[in-house]
Amino acid sequence: MRKLILTSMLALGMVVVPATAMAKPMKHAAHAMKEKTLYERLGGAPAVSAVIDDFAGRVLADTRINAKFAKSDPTRLVANLKTFVTQATGGPKVYKGQSMAAAHHNMGVTDAEFGALVEDLVATLDKFNVPAKEKGELLAALGPLGPQIVSVHSNETGGALPASFKPAPAAKK
């Protein structure tokens, strides 16, 4: 009986010790196989920065929507967009600006103006050859913000910024 117990313990030891030794490498392998964040797949900070710079330029030049940004500080807008997109895509920054509802309160953004903004974003993503999967994920992350931004259900674009709109303060230099 004693021999059987010793043999069983030895056999068990031969199985358990290698399995335990392999546990760490297997954990690391599983972690390495874990898909990168959208932020990483987009190219990180340099890519987000380039995309937002181009996107902001398009938006500010787009007569369908640029009037809505007449009182906004472009420097603050771009900085906040970069931080917001970084956080929304799983990057290392935390957006501390206003909520989308608060930031767009009294802007009078129409459904069509929001659509124009999305078109500008898609054009920018296409310019940078963002793959379809990542483009879809980014649009899916940002699309649900529409109801927080749109306050006028209309197909009109190019509307003036209402006098009641109060922009966030300008960026500190």
User: What average pLDDT does this structure show over 142-154?
Assistant: 95
Length in residues, the chain: 173
CB 62 within 8 Å of CB 70: no
Q: How confident is the model at residue 171 (pLDDT cuts 50, 70, 90)?
A: confident
CB 100 within 8 Å of CB 149: yes
Q: How confident is the model at residue 18 (pLDDT cuts 50, 70, 90)?
A: very low
Alpha helices, H only, 62-163: 74-88, 100-103, 111-127, 132-142, 146-149
- DSSP for 95-119 reads --S--HHHHTTTS--BHHHHHHHHH
Q: How confident is the model at residue 173 (pLDDT cuts 50, 70, 90)?
A: low
User: What average pLDDT does this structure show over 3-13?
Assistant: 36
User: What average pLDDT does this structure show over 17-28?
Assistant: 44
- pLDDT (tens digit, 9 = 90+) per residue, 89-136? 999 999 999 999 999 999 999 999 999 999 999 999 999 999 999 999
* Residue predicted with more confidence, 167 or 49: 49
Q: Which residues of 11-32 are buried (b: 16+ CB within 10 A; e: fewer)?
A: eeeeeeeeeeeeeeeeeeeeee
CB 124 within 8 Å of CB 58: yes
DSSP state of 170: P
- pLDDT (tens digit, 9 = 90+) per residue, 31-82? 556 889 999 999 999 999 999 999 999 999 999 999 999 999 999 999 999 9
- Rounded Cα distance between 3 and 145, Å, is 70
- Rounded Cα distance between 65 and 112, Å, is 9
pLDDT of residue 24: 47
- Rounded Cα distance between 173 and 170, Å, is 9
* Residue predicted with more confidence, 146 or 28: 146
- Rounded Cα distance between 154 and 157, Å, is 8
